[in-house]
Amino acid sequence: MKFISWNVNGLRAVLKKGFEDRFNDLNADIFCLQETKLQAGQVALDFPGYHQYWNYAEKKGYSGTAVFTRRQPLKVVYGMGIPEHDTEGRLITLEFEDFYFVCCYTPNAQNELKRIDYRMQWEDDLRAYLMRLDEHKPVIYTGDLNVAHEEIDLKNPKSNRGNAGFSDQERGKMTELLSSGFADTFRRLHPDARDAYSWWSYRFKAREKNAGWRIDYFIVSERLMERVEQASIHPEIFGSDHCPVALVLRNP
């Protein structure tokens, strides 16, 4: 099975930049999006053979997630069942016969870490949620997780230390998650890969210089790692300030 995750930073904008062609070219079994910035009814996408699931933020033009899947899920859950976390359209969980698939757009801690307290609560509640799922069947957790975990995961770690996305607090929460029975598939398969990024600022020609961050992930339950064939990043695909990330699993 092939999975794709992409923060499109506004689906209506990326639709004007060839999104439907990219979707078809990538040919995923499950394709998920973050930061769709949509309300219900604002776009109509027709991808034959795919079921569509959308989670919209209450605030217009903000956040939002979507999942397109060839396999019909047994169940779909929007949010994590905690009201303070479930108004921004950040989480969709699909249950299949042999795994849970969780698409996530993690809240940004914002400039000067203005939202760090909320971010820490989100991380704790989300980790508990994933661990509950994992008790029943393995989990594939993906999306824009808004953190570069280690120094190897961004171009300029020293100058960004303490900034949103590379604060000790956020990195620590990722360490906690990965110590709770989960694996970062890309880093597990490519432990020494440098200059492998999924997001670049629009400023200072960052993408042209490949001065980026790896903040988009496929994280899986440890017992799924034996099925992971590929974990890759697609910087050649444009249209957003993020690029798609991919995971390929062998059939059980």
**In the annotation, is 105 catalytic?**
yes
* Of 105, 129, 197, 217, catalytic: 105
Rg (alpha carbons) of the chain, rounded to whole number = 17
* Of 134, 144, 153, 216, catalytic: 144
Q: Which long-range contacts (CB under 8 A, 24 or more apart) does 134-139 make?
A: 134/100, 134/181, 134/182, 134/221, 136/100, 137/95, 137/98, 137/99, 137/100, 138/98, 138/99, 138/100, 138/220, 138/221, 138/223, 138/224, 139/99, 139/100, 139/102, 139/182, 139/220, 139/221, 139/224
Tell me the catalytic residues: 105, 144
